[in-house]
Amino acid sequence: MPASRIFAEHGDITRAVVDVIVNAANSSLLGGGGVDGAIHRAAGPGLLAECRTVGGCPPGEARVTGAYNLPHRHVIHTVGPIWYGGGLDEAELLASCYRNSLKLAVASGARSVAFPGISTGAYGYPIPAATDIAVRAVREFLRETGAEIDVMFCCFSAEALGLYQSALMD
């Protein structure tokens, strides 16, 4: 049985060569800035129209939609925690985003998925801590479920890429 790969790449997630991509959305699922804005721009208006029918998504959970003009099979929208200093279950909520997104990716039949650094932009989660949580949550999910899916951490900055590469070497 081929093992799932976990790796980091620098770039724009809308161009990631994977079956499904994950969006770092807000709980309205009606679009925003950052990676959410980039995904909606590249997907076109069909994505927003479908998102309007979904009815939002609480932090830590995930929802799946079509990908419209994107070259992917689906977009998985997850809502990360806003960073308030670490005392409001931010770490657990962030890990849940990765787990719940992976569950939907596997259920959709995807063999590969790309994640942005959920919560590390507008939501203010410190990137080193968020990176460790992301890597740990993905490894645990793959170990516990035995799922066969390649996982790309799509890094928008050289700093993020360096942090993921060292976390993946541990």
Residues with active-site annotation? 36
Contact 9, 153 (CB under 8 A): yes
- Given 22, 25, 51, 135, the residue binding ligand AR6 (CB under 6 A): 25
Query: According to the binding rule CB under 6 A, does residue 167 interact with ligand AR6?
Result: no
User: What's the DSSP call for residue 62?
Assistant: E
Instruction: Report the phi/psi class of residue 124: left, alpha or beta, with left for phi > 0 and alpha for psi in -120 to 50.
Output: left
Query: According to the binding rule CB under 6 A, does residue 156 interact with ligand AR6?
Result: yes
d(C-alpha 88, C-alpha 18), whole Å: 33
- Given 4, 26, 100, 131, the residue binding ligand AR6 (CB under 6 A): 26
- Given 48, 122, 129, 161, the residue binding ligand AR6 (CB under 6 A): 122
Q: Kindly report the number of other CB atoms within 10 A of residue 25's CB atom.
A: 27
Binding mask 43-72 for ligand AR6 (x = CB under 6 A): ------------------------------
